[in-house]
Structure 1
Amino acid sequence: MKTILFNDLQYQNIQHQTAFKQALSLVLKRGNLILGSEVAAFEKEFASYVGVKYGVGVASGTDAIMFKPTDEVAIPVNVYPVAFAVESAGFKLKLIDVDPETLNIDVTDLAKKITQKTKAVIVVHLFGKTANLMAISALAKKKGLVLIEDCSQAHGTQYQGKKVGSFGKLSCFSFYPTKNLGALGDGGIVVTNDETLADIIRAMRQYGEVKRYESQMEGRVSRLDELQAAFLRVKLRKLNIDLTKRVKKAKVYIDNLKDVSEIKLPLIGKKWEHTFHLFVIKACQRNKLQQYLLEHGIQTGIHYPLLIHQVESFTYLQGKDSDYPNASSVNHDLLSLPFYPDIPEADIRTVCKAIKDFYR
């Protein structure tokens, strides 16, 4: 029985093998492996792609999120990785319910839960789908909140014709290998239009130094390495092609599953409002369906099994499911199907047939 992989990174990266080898050779020839010309070039190229002035490469998407000058930070209750970054940076978590359709932060609940201690809101474009940036931006401006975008699952996604990452005071991206733009290891970047903020973050990523051995603020070590920057420059050139493929493959799923009443499909929206980092459905009998698919050689995932207040390390928040009714009602139904830009359409049809067979 053939196994249908949840994601095939080997296939995605092998097509760049020749360019990767050339990039590796160039980096080795230069001999500068930390914060060299490849990092500087990638920072400029990626900032330009997003539509902002400055980019600062860091070691991971989590580290990108940790560079925050705030007190209490509001985040969606369903974005497990973000919570660790905010807490590690020393700030308090303010958990917000999600919109039951988009699974992104719910503006109404956000407005209710903002306090005088709330200094920032992190908007996560979950699974590649844009949050309601117009309403959130207006609320943030009214309440004096710093708007931060977490675009780790939404490289290239657009909202009203502009790329996400260009709306916040600063925005964070992860280059974890499975992302829309993935490195061959860890990596991340912070982008902003604020030159002063970019300078602060640039110093913070290396001991708080404004020059070598001139540390003027508290810092850490979180650098995007030269080799990963070189690989990312190769892949950035093909990112839009991959995004087009993602949307096309998502439509194949939607066309084949639109008549299955037991599941609810994601909405595509206008051009690139959803770039489908993941293809996530809401499914009746989710756990049984997942087991059935596994028995038929189909890998799936759950993003994420627990809401933040349900995670053991965050029980101190004393949250209850009733505090987040939307997230609590849908989280046990979410199932991520096999998905990547070059997944064969035949594999998608096989997955869809298996889902239909399960519900018969």
Structure 2
Amino acid sequence: MSSHGLRIAFFGSSLVSAWWNGAAMYYRGILRALHARGHRVTFYEPDLPGSQGHRDLPVAPDWARVVVYSVEGTDGLERCLEEARSADVVVKASGVGVFDELLEARVLELQSGHTQVVFWDLDAPVTLERVTRNPEDPFRALIPRYDRILTQGGGDPVVLAYRDLGARDCIPVYSAVDPDVHHPVLPDVRFDCDMAFLDERLPDLERRVESFFLRAADLLPDKQFLLGGDGWSGRQRPSNIRYVGHLAPGERNVVRSTARTVLDVSRDGMARFGFSPAPRLFEAASAGACLITDAWEGIELFLEPGRECLVAQDGLEVAEAVLCLTDDGVRELGAAARRRVLAEHTYAHRAVQVEQALGYTSRPGSLREFVA
């Protein structure tokens, strides 16, 4: 590791658990790639029973130091903030799950000539809608004070919206894939199906899952569908949909390598803003899956419709794609998608972008000073 790497203090939801934590794979991909480039990461996460009780990284990874702080009072968090004072970069991610409002204000007290403070928004459409509707939202007044805003996506609409709110700079850092984690594996008969959909049951996703996935299953009673992810057990669904519950990241890799096709559906806010593919899109592509995705603005920047994925406007078009795809078509789409993401959309690519956003190059003393 280079002695000139950045010291990064990152306050997020959880690095060690992907349970009800859609950000986990994004965190892991970005931070592991930054570590590989010589940076030292300390990840501060709350001791929430759900997350810590469902770790899929049983021990701290060798590419980040993980500090778990108590949520019984703020003493533990205060110790973390004091320790983070020596970092070159302090990151407050959105959606930590506890003390968010407190953290968003307190991290700004760590700004100095050698420490820049970044807000990393993993759900920019939701954040922007919230602060736009409520001018008294405490975060709204803090936006201009951050050295920069990074987002998990959003394209120009999100960048312009943040700048309108006074952000000094806003830079999308899109999801991507870690090819060491997500890659083709041997299929498993447990997951044989014509189409798989994997995601947690969230209010702003469920309606679109009904329109695209459940509707397609209704239209194709002779085809077999597989649903994975937390929260769907009580949801009514057609009899040809088999629910397999929570799947660890490694199991999701097997599903994507087994299913004939894999569906990706965007949440409401992401679909409206566009330009915000979730990590699962790239993970499925890296596993060589034949991807069918709902239509959203900007998909062609990541995968080419008709050659690297299929795009559907509704459940009827999803059903038509499942029916019409030949075995050769399935293989060709999957192979083309995998080539594209490995060439352009790995977390190694994103780590370089993060360095550029932070004003860092590998030359000693090259990190620009930022005035709080």
Q: TM-score, normalised by structure 1?
A: 0.29
The TM-score normalised by the length of structure 2 is 0.29
Query: RCO greater where, 1 or 2, for CA within 8 Å and sep 6 or more?
Result: 1
